[in-house]
Amino acid sequence: MDLTDDARPPHASVLDADVAVRGNLRITRLGEPQGLRIEGDLDHTTLPALRRALTSLVPGDIDIDLKGLTFIDVGGLRALVTAAALLDDGHVMTLWSAPPQVERLLLLTRWHERSQPRLVLRSPAIAPGDRACWDRLFPSGRPSR
C-alpha cells in the first residue's frame, strides 16, 4: 500500500452506460484508466453489485474512487482486497480518496499485508493525529509503489 498527497483519480472519461444503483449504493464504471467510482453504502446488501462490477473489469491496473463512500463493512473491504490480491504481477489496484474507516479497517484486519504490493492507497495528506495509525501500518516509513 502506498500513500501520497495526491488524492484525485486521473480519469479522462466516465462510461455513463455502466452505472449500477442498488439501495444507497451507486457504482460507476470509469473509462481511461479503467476503474470504478463507489458512492454511498457498501454492505452485505450491496456487496453483490460490487462483486459484479469488479469482475466486469479487464485484467490490468484498476482505480477505485472512494471519495463518495459513506459506509463500508468488512465484506466490502474483503471484496476489494481480494480483487487486488488476484491481479497479475505488475498490476495494482489504487484506492483513491479512501475515507478514514477504510484505513482503519485495513489496520485492524491487517489485510493490507495480504495484498501488497498490489493495493495502493492514495489519500489526502495525513493529519498529525493520524500519523500514529500509519506508523503502525508501516513501521519502516512510507512504502514505495
pLDDT at 71 (0 to 100):
94
3-state secondary structure of 78: helix
How far is 121 from 53, CA to CA, in rounded Å? 20
User: Residues 30-46: what's their mean pLDDT?
Assistant: 90
Number of other residues whose CB lies within 10 A of the CB of residue 62: 23
- Is the pLDDT assigned to residue 79 strictly greater than 60? yes
Full-model pTM = 0.71
- For the record, the C-alpha cell of 106 comes out as 485495513
Domains and CATH numbers, the chain: 14-137 (3.30.750.24)
- Is the pLDDT assigned to residue 36 strictly greater than 60? yes
pLDDT classification of 54: cutoffs 50, 70, 90: very high
SS3 content of the chain, % helix, strand, coil (to 5): 30, 25, 40
- Is the pLDDT assigned to residue 38 strictly greater than 90? yes
How far is 102 from 112, CA to CA, in rounded Å? 11
How far is 49 from 55, CA to CA, in rounded Å? 10
User: Residues 85-106: what's their mean pLDDT?
Assistant: 88
pLDDT classification of 104: cutoffs 50, 70, 90: confident
- For the record, the C-alpha cell of 114 comes out as 495480504
- Tens-place pLDDT, residues 106-135: 888 887 676 667 888 786 544 434 445 545
